[in-house]
């Protein structure tokens, strides 16, 4: 009997010890799982921020890309002037967005659904996504792209100081105001029957810059010698090699432009979104190449470059939702649009040395409309919403840009003098040439 009791006591002790060991192991496993989940979360957060930072760097390179293509497509006597604009644009964007611009565009939750808001001066973490500073930097560099469009359209005749003044107002007030309506949670997301859709900025970035560029180019008037006796006189660029480098830098930079945007909504779709963007760019180039040949009977490289831009701009509104075939159609139509757009603006004597207005305004508008025509969102309601968004941004940007340009023209002067334009802005504005070739040495 005592042996039986001792055996039970021994078994009970073993069972108790085993249960304690199992419980301790379970607790350890639970802690390990929790640590693993935290490590995975931290790793994912790190990868997100690294990709957005890389995307921001790629977008930053687009400033150089625009500088190269715009310099190549104008005359050599204005090359330094155009390159200097590519430097001063990000400088102004960083200063204005750091002080107040970002908090106009992303004012915070209390302004959701509104027409305007202000989150205060300086950096304010309450309105960021992911890592605040990563998001902040990405948005600054996106803003630069919009202003590069304006620089191209007003090239070779605007006063450098007047361009700087306008850029401060555009980057500090105009661009972030309309950007807030959609990306900052404003009324375009809440006040209409369906939500306005502009994934990568076809309207909010490109058409916005295009509207301001159209106003500026119209108010400045054409370059000397562009239109003579009712005829359009071509003013060819001086360096197609530089322009070609520029378009490839822009195309590569677009991987960050659209890929960074995709990461905020669905990181797993980044490769797909970049692929759709490339398909549209290629289709845009093809459409412009064929249509320009049928019109001019020559293989025009500048039109093909603008066709690439046209496809990139048009698909930016919907790269997240279109399939490859829809991207192909959108790109081809954009390529056709940019060629006929250049012809149209020349007909009405709006001198645009780069074709920037056609590539960004017309094709950005087309791409935004395409959201209601193709893809999963296609519907009458969506198409109407897209039209309302385009009109609202276009009217606001145009009106505010006209006011700023008008005031600059009245109190400062907008256009360089006849002699300065004839001699070239490099010498009159900067006291140097872009190319110092001394053949006597």
- pLDDT at position 129, please? 47
- pLDDT at position 128, please? 44
- pLDDT at position 127, please? 46
pLDDT tens, per residue, the chain with 441 residues: 555 555 555 545 556 666 666 666 566 656 555 655 555 455 556 677 888 889 999 999 999 999 999 999 999 999 999 999 999 999 999 999 999 999 999 998 889 989 999 988 888 765 444 578 888 899 999 999 999 999 999 999 999 999 999 999 999 999 999 999 999 999 999 989 899 999 999 999 999 999 999 999 999 999 999 999 889 999 999 999 999 999 999 999 999 999 888 766 666 788 999 999 999 999 999 999 999 999 999 999 999 999 999 999 999 999 999 999 999 999 999 999 999 999 999 999 999 999 999 999 999 999 999 999 999 999 999 999 999 999 999 999 999 999 999 999 999 999 999 999 999 999 999 999 998 875 444
Q: Domains in the chain, ordered, with CATH?
A: 53-430 (1.10.3430.10)
Rounded CA-CA distance 168/56 in Å is 21
Q: What are phi and psi of 322, to 5 degrees?
A: -90, 150
- pLDDT at position 344, please? 96
Contact assessment for residue 188 and residue 393, using Cβ atoms and an 8 Å cutoff: no
């Amino acid at each position: 009997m005592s042996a039986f009791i001792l055996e039970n006591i021994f078994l009970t002790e073993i069972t108790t010890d085993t249960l304690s060991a199992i419980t301790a192991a379970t607790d350890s496993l639970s802690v390990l799982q929790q640590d693993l989940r935290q490590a995975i979360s931290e790793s994912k957060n790190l990868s997100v921020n690294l990709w957005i930072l890389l995307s921001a760097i790629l977008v930053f390179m687009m400033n150089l890309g625009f500088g190269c293509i715009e310099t190549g497509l104008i005359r050599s006597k204005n090359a330094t002037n155009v390159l200097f604009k590519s430097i001063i644009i990000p400088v102004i964007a960083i200063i204005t967005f750091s002080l107040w611009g970002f908090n106009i565009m992303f004012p915070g939750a209390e302004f959701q659904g509104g027409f305007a808001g202000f989150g205060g001066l300086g950096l304010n973490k309450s309105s960021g996504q992911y890592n605040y500073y990563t998001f902040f930097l990405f948005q600054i560099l996106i803003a630069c792209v919009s202003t590069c469009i304006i620089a191209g359209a007003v090239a070779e005749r605007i006063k450098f100081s007047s361009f700087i003044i306008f850029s401060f107002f555009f980057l500090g007030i105009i661009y972030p105001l309309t950007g807030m309506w959609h990306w900052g949670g404003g009324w375009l997301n809440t006040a209409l029957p369906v939500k306005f859709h502009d994934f990568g900025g076809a309207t909010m970035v490109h058409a916005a810059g295009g509207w301001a560029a159209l106003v500026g180019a119209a108010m400045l008037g054409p370059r000397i010698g562009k239109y003579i006796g009712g005829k359009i006189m071509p003013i060819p660029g001086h360096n197609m090699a530089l322009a070609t480098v520029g378009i490839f830098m822009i195309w590569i930079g677009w991987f960050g432009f659209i890929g960074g945007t995709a990461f905020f909504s669905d990181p797993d779709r980044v490769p797909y979104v970049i692929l759709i963007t490339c398909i549209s760019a290629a289709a845009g180039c093809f459409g412009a190449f064929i249509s320009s040949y049928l019109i001019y009977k020559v293989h025009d490289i500048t039109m093909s470059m603008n066709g690439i831009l046209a496809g990139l701009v048009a698909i930016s509104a919907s790269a997240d939702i279109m399939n490859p075939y829809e991207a192909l159609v959108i790109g081809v139509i954009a390529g056709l649009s940019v060629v006929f757009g250049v012809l149209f603006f020349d007909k009405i004597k709006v001198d645009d040395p780069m074709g920037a207005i056609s590539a960004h305004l017309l094709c950005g508008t087309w791409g935004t409309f395409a959201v209601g025509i193709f893809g999963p969102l296609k519907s009458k309601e969506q198409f109407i919403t897209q039209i309302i968004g385009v009109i609202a941004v276009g009217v606001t940007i145009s009106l505010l840009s006209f006011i700023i340009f008008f005031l600059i023209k009245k109190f400062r002067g907008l256009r360089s003098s006849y002699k300065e334009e004839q001699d070239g802005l490099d010498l009159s504005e900067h006291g140097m040439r872009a190319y110092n070739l001394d053949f006597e040495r």
